[in-house]
Structure 1
Amino acid sequence: MITTLILIGFLVITYLAFTNFYPSFGGDISKEQMIVYESSKQFKNGKFSNTNPVPKNLSFSETMKLAYTFFTTKVPNGRPKANLISAKIDSTNIANYNGEARMIWFGHSSFLLQIDSKTILLDPMFGKVAAPLDILGGNRFNAELPLEIAKLPKIDAVIFSHDHYDHLDYKTILKLKDKTNHFYVPLGVGTHLKSWKIPSSKITELDWWQDVKLDNLNLVCTPAQHFSGRKLNNGQSTLWSSWVIQTKTENIYFSGDSGYAAHFKEIGEKYGPFDLALMECGQYNEQWSDIHMMPEETAQAGIDVQAKKIMPIHWAGFKLALHEWTDPIERVIKKAKKLNIDVITPTIGQEIVAKDSTNTYINWWKNL
């Protein structure tokens, strides 16, 4: 018994030491910050929460069982047969662009958005794995990016939806921080950025339904139904969100990660219709459908936000669930046809014009 207790104590001390000193885990919310966050309707008893009482808090044994199932279950066609090939972008094409709103998909939920003469990154996660250490995760599906970070022009803004590793990546931030003018994040996420030496003056934290002006752009932090945390002992310490990005003539919605809930209709009624909605669709399971939509719900959420067309995201990047890698796109297209909502399916690196109505995209994932 004494030996067992000593071993457990050693493991706990090792874990705490590792997470406190290894920078990838980010920062921790201070007591002073908690006092400030108490003014948020989402902050209760020292943690952020959803409007609905989700997600369910798993016990330690339930967490270990879920982790065991994930790491030991073999999924046929869980990854592409080979690395996905990204279309390449010329850096001068990005630096000199001054046209209508367009986007470049980097895979998963990462985008380069050019709108109103601004260059913006959405959830830029350009790392090899969605984990604090490379040995803890599988490689991304596209080994090469459409454009390497070093060749990106000056970035006017980076927008993050939440602090999970497949959205907020330490090594990516290190490469972006000196070429980025400003970071816009939900409450608390700035703590991680500050721990990575980004000045407070370059960070704006927003609560749900708060907005901020970036010259002629209107950026709105809108609700999502998800959760947060980068280690075992700081779950729900930062807020999660979706985002609305508006000019006088263009309107884009970015869902972040979210389960299906009433907030989509609220957002559509308040800020819709949208020229394009980037909608989470992937890494789902019935066991956690309250925090990640099933593909059929993704299509319905597009209707709810009043999108003229949707683009499924959060797929074709990493294997983070137990479905085949092409299931998300196949299922959402099938449901969208029944609901009569347009779905666009660009390849990684392909130009996406927000107000384009031709939708000339191919089913590029077939047989890969």
Structure 2
Amino acid sequence: MNPRYELAICAVISLLAGCASNKITTINNLNADGASLKQGRYINRYPGNKTYPYSCEENCYPPTDDIHCESDMEQCQYRGKNPKLTTHSGYQIHWLGHASFEIKTPSGKRFLFDPVFDEFDWPVNWAFQMANGFERQSPKSKVQNLSDVNAVLYSHLHYDHFNKHDIALIGNKPKYLVPLNFAKHFDRNHYTIHEMDWFTTHLVAQTKVHFVPAHHFNSRIWVPFLYNDDNQALWGGWVLEENGKTLFFAGDTGYSNHFKDIQRQYGDIDVCLLPIASYFHQEYEAWYRYVHTRPEDAIAAANDLNCKVTIPWDYGNASWQMGDHSSHSALFRLLHTLKIIETDSQFYIMNEGERLFL
């Protein structure tokens, strides 16, 4: 075809769908510890019934002077005393809210975990507003100089962790590291995307980025009741490793033996970012806990990983409350169970928007 005609056709198509393509690389794990498929859908590393090391059954949310709230466990700020940290990892943590983090490595590289800056993508934002008037509050802290971010890492496709509108804001300069079969959900705009299997590694400058298992599931409903790519894309967490220091972001996950597997693979973890919420539901409480960590499960996970410092997340004023009593009920429960369950990990409590230099 004449190059002029080809360019003209591309210009016309670009007005409709865009001619830009993405550069996609797939990193498979050919060993036995990679992810498994069952009838074309990914499955958890440890499926089936589970037992839990500890369960709080009553009086799990006692009042505390460490958390100041405008109403009953709602619109709160943590004002308690955090431990004097003994870990010197070189990582800088900026908690944006819910599951979104900005991380600066010891060498100064910038990573984003599950960045969702504003309202969720359509149709979820529309459905919530129509159904019950729900509207997610925007995180109070913003990321500066998005174009200077080195890599963006996603744990799974759920709308509170993966927002296509925010990808457009971030742009195509950073690398995007995602689970297997994930890249098809990106718009086409010259993005550099690396799809990764469990226990595979990609190097970003001098930072080793490892993709690791989580006990969860995946779905991305485009049109309710008409399309749901249930578990056709993988899910997981991330381990950053630089100068022998490690930082672990769990993603959404329930408690299972995958935490012990991660510790065996990478050793004791210096900094762990662990979820503690979205576990309570009167009708489906067992299922919610199966794929989300209660506060007591997060403590057990920190023990399995031998975390030196643990930073909990998933609660907060800008969180997406699907399986919680309130915005901060999980934090109340965590402070209570930390008095009961033994752990050598130093739990450091942050408020949304705060920064921590480790």
**Is 1:192 the equivalent of 2:185?**
yes
Whole-angstrom distance in 2 between the partners of 1:144 and 1:215: 29
Whole-angstrom distance in 1 between the partners of 2:49 and 2:167: 28
- Root-mean-square deviation (CA), in Å? 3.0
Whole-angstrom distance in 1 between the partners of 2:271 and 2:332: 19
Equivalent residue for 1:166, pick from 145, 160, 169: 160
Aligned length in residues: 281
Give the TM-score normalised by structure 1: 0.69
Structure 1 residue ranges (4+ consecutive) displaced by more than 4 angstroms after TM superposition: none
Q: Deviations over 1:82-122 (max 9, x none)?
A: 9x89xxxxxxxxxxxxx932011000010111112211101
Equivalent residue for 1:124, pick from 106, 115, 133: 115
- Equivalent residues of 2:147, 2:171 under 8 A apart: no
Aligned match of 1:312: 312
Alignment of structure 1 residues 65-76 onto 2, 5 Å? none
Whole-angstrom distance in 2 between the partners of 1:262 and 1:209: 15
Whole-angstrom distance in 1 between the partners of 2:122 and 2:255: 25
Whole-angstrom distance in 1 between the partners of 2:122 and 2:332: 27
Please tell me the residue identity of whatever aligns with 2:292. H
- Which segments of 5 or more consecutive residues in structure 2 lack a partner in the other structure? 1-16, 18-25, 51-70, 79-88, 129-133, 222-226
Equivalent residue for 2:94, pick from 85, 92, 104: 104
- Equivalent residues of 1:131, 1:166 under 8 A apart: no
Alignment of structure 1 residues 1-368 onto 2, 5 Å? 41-53=35-47, 80-81=74-75, 100-115=90-105, 116-129=107-120, 132-137=123-128, 138-141=134-137, 143-147=138-142, 151-178=145-172, 180-193=173-186, 196-199=187-190, 202-231=192-221, 232-285=227-280, 286-287=285-286, 288-316=288-316, 317-337=319-339, 338-340=341-343, 341-354=345-358
Q: 1:78 to 1:264 in 2, by over 3 A?
A: farther
- Equivalent residues of 2:121, 2:164 under 8 A apart: no
Please tell me the residue identity of whatever aligns with 2:136. R
- Equivalent residues of 2:177, 2:193 under 8 A apart: yes
Please tell me the residue identity of whatever aligns with 2:110. T
Whole-angstrom distance in 2 between the partners of 1:153 and 1:326: 33
Q: 1:257 to 1:54 in 2, by over 3 A?
A: farther
- Equivalent residues of 2:102, 2:143 under 8 A apart: no
* Identical amino acids, percent of aligned pairs: 25
- Equivalent residues of 1:79, 1:319 under 8 A apart: no
User: How far apart are residue 188 of structure 1 and its match?
Assistant: 1.2
Larger relative contact order (Cα-Cα within 8 Å, sequence gap ≥ 6): 2
User: How far apart are residue 333 of structure 1 and its match?
Assistant: 2.5
Q: Deviations over 1:47-71 (max 9, x none)?
A: 1111233599xxxxxxxxxxxxxxx
Q: 1:221 aligns to what SS in structure 2? A: strand
- Equivalent residues of 1:102, 1:353 under 8 A apart: yes
Q: Which has the higher helix share?
A: 1
Whole-angstrom distance in 2 between the partners of 1:292 and 1:275: 22
User: How far apart are residue 153 of structure 1 and its match?
Assistant: 4.6
Q: 1:119 to 1:41 in 2, by over 3 A?
A: closer
Q: 1:275 to 1:322 in 2, by over 3 A?
A: closer
User: How far apart are residue 323 of structure 1 and its match?
Assistant: 1.8
Give the TM-score normalised by structure 2: 0.71
Whole-angstrom distance in 2 between the partners of 1:129 and 1:55: 32
User: How far apart are residue 246 of structure 1 and its match?
Assistant: 0.6
- Equivalent residues of 2:156, 2:179 under 8 A apart: yes
Whole-angstrom distance in 2 between the partners of 1:256 and 1:320: 16
Q: 1:55 to 1:173 in 2, by over 3 A?
A: farther
- Which segments of 5 or more consecutive residues in structure 1 lack a partner in the other structure? 1-22, 24-32, 57-76, 86-98, 355-368
